[in-house]
Amino acid sequence: MTVTTFSELELDESLLRALQEKGFTRPTAIQAAAIPPALEGRDVLGSAPTGTGKTAAYLLPVLQHLLDFPRKKSGPPRILIVTPTRELAMQVADQARDLAKHTHLDIATITGGVAFMNHAEVFSENQDVVVATTGRLLQYIKEENFDCRAVETLILDEADRMLDMGFAQDIETIAAETRWRKQTLLFSATLEGDAIKDFSERLLNDPEEIEADPARRERKKILQWYYRADDIKHKTALLIHLLKQPEVTRSVVFVRKRERVHELCGWLREAGINTSYLEGELEQFKRNEAIKRVVDGRVNVLVATDVAARGIDIDDVSHVFNFDMPLTSDTYLHRIGRTGRAGKKGIAISLVEAHDNLLLGKVTRYIKEPLKSRTIDELRPTTRPPSEKLNGKPSKKVLAKRKEKKENEQKEAKPRVKERHRNTKNIGKRRKPTAAKTDSAE
Ligand code: ADP
Ligand code: MG
CA of 253 to the centre of ligand 1 (A): 22
Closest residue (by CA) to atom 2 of ligand 1? Answer: 54
* CA atoms of 269 and 262, how far apart (whole Å): 10
Please work out whether the CB of residue 53 comes within 6 Å of at least one atom of ligand 1. Answer: yes
Angle between helices 168-177 and 194-203 (to 10 degrees): 10
Nearest to 285 by CA among 422, 121, 87: 87
Residues 165 and 263 in one domain: no
If you write DSSP's letter for every residue of 270-310 in order, what string do you get? HTT--EEEE-TT--HHHHHHHHHHHHTTS-SEEEEEHHHHT
Confidence check: pLDDT of 435 > 50: no
Residues 168 and 37 in one domain: yes
Instruction: Name the least confident of 187-196, 367-376, 379-388, 414-423.
Output: 414-423
Residues 185 and 302 in one domain: no
* CA atoms of 317 and 335, how far apart (whole Å): 11
Please work out whether the CB of residue 251 comes within 6 Å of at least one atom of ligand 1. Answer: no
Mean pLDDT to the nearest integer, 304-317: 83
Please work out whether the CB of residue 57 comes within 6 Å of at least one atom of ligand 1. Answer: no
Question: Would residue 384 count as lying in a domain?
Answer: no
* CA atoms of 260 and 262, how far apart (whole Å): 5
The DSSP 8-state label assigned to residue 343 in this structure reads G
Residue 171: strand, helix, or coil? helix
Residues 256 and 156 in one domain: no
Confidence check: pLDDT of 205 > 60: yes
Contact 196, 45 (CB under 8 A): no
% of the chain at pLDDT higher than 70:
84
pLDDT digits over 339-365, tens only?
876 667 899 999 999 999 999 998 888
Which residue range forms the structural domain that includes residue 205?
A: 6-215
pLDDT digits over 289-298, tens only?
999 999 999 9
Contact 128, 56 (CB under 8 A): no
- The tally of domains found in the chain comes to 2
Ligand number nearest CA of 88 is 2
Query: Which CATH number do you get for residue 244?
Result: 3.40.50.300
- The rounded mean pLDDT for the chain is 86
Question: Would residue 345 count as lying in a domain?
Answer: yes
Residues 170 and 252 in one domain: no
Residues 247 and 228 in one domain: yes
